[in-house]
């Protein structure tokens, strides 16, 4: 899947690491793609996406890695990535309302696509 190559290129171009990411907005056109992104981006090992999200605690608003805080495409609409980018910006600006990740997230990753086409980017909070 293209998310592996996109994620590898992302981390090659920055000094940031998965441990620096405060919120993840990952494409979920099909549920398994969000798991594939978690693995490709290095938040968990290959094949460990399911156990990583199991129970929802780790990916909740107050979890270790809040995931798809706008509800993903099932809740926010299928905009092929724009919703994920918009939500990442809202989180970093502190303007996500009831969905706001507490503690002032400073780094977000937004990803779109799966299968043969994919892209991802890191965003940082304005200083």
Domain boundaries, the chain: 2-49+56-111
Is the pTM here over 0.85, yes or no?
yes
CA-nearest of 99, 83, 88 to 126 is: 88
The sheet carrying 107-114 orders its strands as 23-26, 107-114, 117-124
Mean per-residue pLDDT, 36-55: 97
| CB-CB contact of 37 with 27 (8 Å) | yes
Q: Percent of the chain beyond pLDDT 90? A: 83
The per-residue pLDDT for 1 is: 85
pLDDT tens-digit series, residues 15-27: 999 999 999 999 9
């Amino acid at each position: 899947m293209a998310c592996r190559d996109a994620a590898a290129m992302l981390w090659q171009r920055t000094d940031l690491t998965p441990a620096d990411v405060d919120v993840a907005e990952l494409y979920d056109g099909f549920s398994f793609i969000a798991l594939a992104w978690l693995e490709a981006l290095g938040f968990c090992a290959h094949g460990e996406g399911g156990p990583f999200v199991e129970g929802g605690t780790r990916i909740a608003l107050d979890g270790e890695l809040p995931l798809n805080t706008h509800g993903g495409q099932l809740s926010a609409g299928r905009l092929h990535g724009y919703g994920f980018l918009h939500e990442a910006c809202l989180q970093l600006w502190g303007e996500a309302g009831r969905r706001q990740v507490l503690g002032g997230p400073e780094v977000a990753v937004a990803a779109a696509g799966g299968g043969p086409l994919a892209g991802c980017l890191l965003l940082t909070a304005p200083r």
